Structure 1
Amino acid sequence: MIADLIASTNGSNPGLSLAGRRRQSALRVMVVGDSMSQGRAVAVDKGLIQGVLESTPADLILFMLGFNDMGWFYSDAIGTIDSVETFISNARAANPNIKLAVANVPQRSFIGGREDLVENTEIYNALLAKYITQWTTEQSPIHLVELEQNYDCAPDSCPAGYDGLHPTAWDDPNLVRPLPEPGNFQMFSSPQGVTATWDADHIEWKRRKGYVQVNQLIR
């Protein structure tokens, strides 16, 4: 899925694609998630995303929010869905062509007295899968990332999490294990901050071989 999003995003320049040889990717990716700063809520970030995208343009958003909204009583499942919809609308206001990969919310090990969190997570994930099919457009596609189904964490056991939710040092790389390793990967300082380059045809070869399949981001 992510490989297809990257390939289509790079289509903004018809002469460049993942099949190109040893070029710097034109793709601008923004990561919006709890992994960047624990405690983030989409109820907050929905009001910030338009300004952030206007000051720091991106072509693709990798979105992993929602747990803290329900876990820290910002809102219930329906309120969190409303916040996600507003987030997407505000992101599109800054970039009508923005592409999004939106992860659902994993369950966590059970917290006494928080049956509501288990229930809200189940409701939210069911609603998210339904609404993404309504929110996605040809101009601004949205893809569901099935994180809950592929992350080893549940109310009765969470071997993937060091604290009952967040991934251990071992499980962080496991989340992206199916993605091919880019060839000739390099990072260096640039006026934009940090620039990464890689051998793009190496990724495309592995994608054609089936290492990365649509809707198989995490296996």
Structure 2
Amino acid sequence: MGTNGFQTESITSWEGLGPYLTSNFDIRDMEFDDMYDKYTQSSFNIDFRTGYIITDGLMLGLGFKYTSTSRNIEYSSDAKDSGYEDYDETSNQLTLSPAIRYYFAESGVWSQIDYSIWSTSSDDSEGTYDDAEFPKVNQLGFSAGYAASLNDYVSLNPYLKYSLITQTTKDAGYDKDFDEVDEVIKKGSFDIGVSLTVHLGY
């Protein structure tokens, strides 16, 4: 199972933007329309996970996740006269997660090992990211849980998970001689959660 959807939001009011000098040279609080014609943000998400039982208790699984976010800013004519230019930005993240899960007989208890690879990219109208190196992330996860059956097809799965995560960014770090080297960050992550699983019979 997974989640899929599209979300968009449009800002219509923004307080605290600072002072605004009117054409009559009066100073007042800046309003949203003084600076912007439009300010929108949106996101699109696909999150799909599936598995196939190849033998008693042993399941092979695959997860796929794609997330895209964007921001679009159109400035007012007064702001453009002051040097502001319309701006748009997009960011994308793709994740692939193969997994192996084993169910212990009829107890409902299971254990799982999964390996995730995800990459990110960004682009904007100003060319900020033209020469950017984006991090590559690998994650090795170990989890255990319990499948509590709600009916013949649906189970609720509380679980514990520990992950080893490595994030590598090409030429983003420096060594003792100040030469460029890959920046490598390693960390551990502990999760407690609940998932809902649908079992499709045949």
* Larger strand fraction of residues: 2
Q: Which has the larger radius of gyration?
A: 2
Structure number with higher relative contact order (C-alpha < 8 Å, ≥ 6 residues apart)? 1
* Larger helix fraction of residues: 1
* TM bucket normalised to smaller: under 0.3
| TM-score normalized by the length of structure 2 | 0.28
